């Protein structure tokens, strides 16, 4: 367990949005936070999430999908960020020790249809939206983003 404050990013499947957010937040402020992600119904990391992140130099291929039970009541979580409305409804509203709980919902890129390129484009859009949101979140914490 790290001595850094823990940030847990929640999404139902922990396959796309929360996985990309985990990689992005590590890049932005990984030396200030222990960055974690989980879901209420983990599905495995989506290959298009891995591909979209690799395009910007962030490798999430070693990340894995986790159930929120891995963290709830097991370790202190200082900040919870919920990135999908379904997780906002299905995940606990209160986390022991959490200083903040932020909810900001993004479209599910895994639900996109079309060709692989069209679906990848949706992952890119959501990735860029997450990056903009997390950059502001980091600044709101009083930390200069990398």
- In the set 53, 77, 84, 126, the catalytic residue is 84
* b/e burial code for range 68-91 (CB count within 10 A of at least 16 → b): beebeeeeebbbbbbbbebbbeeb
| Residue 11 among the catalytic residues | yes
| Residue 24 among the catalytic residues | no
Whole-angstrom distance, CA of residue 64 vs CA of residue 60: 9
- In the set 6, 7, 91, 138, the catalytic residue is 91
| CB 34 within 8 Å of CB 71 | no
| Residue 65 among the catalytic residues | no
- In the set 11, 21, 80, 138, the catalytic residue is 11
Catalytically annotated residues: 11, 84, 91
């Amino acid at each position: 367990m790290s001595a850094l404050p823990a940030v847990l990013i929640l999404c139902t499947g922990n396959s796309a949005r929360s996985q990309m957010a985990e990689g992005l937040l590590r890049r932005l402020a990984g030396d200030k936070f222990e960055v974690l992600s989980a879901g209420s119904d983990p599905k495995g990391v989506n290959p298009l999430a891995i591909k979209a992140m690799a395009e910007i130099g962030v490798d999430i291929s070693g990340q894995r999908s986790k159930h929120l039970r891995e963290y709830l009541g097991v370790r202190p979580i200082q900040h919870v960020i919920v990135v999908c409305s379904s997780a906002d409804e299905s995940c606990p509203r209160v986390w022991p020790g959490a200083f903040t709980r932020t909810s900001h919902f993004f479209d599910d890129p895994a639900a996109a249809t079309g060709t692989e390129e069209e679906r990848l484009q949706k992952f890119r859009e959501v990735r860029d939206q997450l990056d903009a949101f997390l950059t502001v979140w980091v600044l709101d914490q009083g930390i200069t983003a990398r």
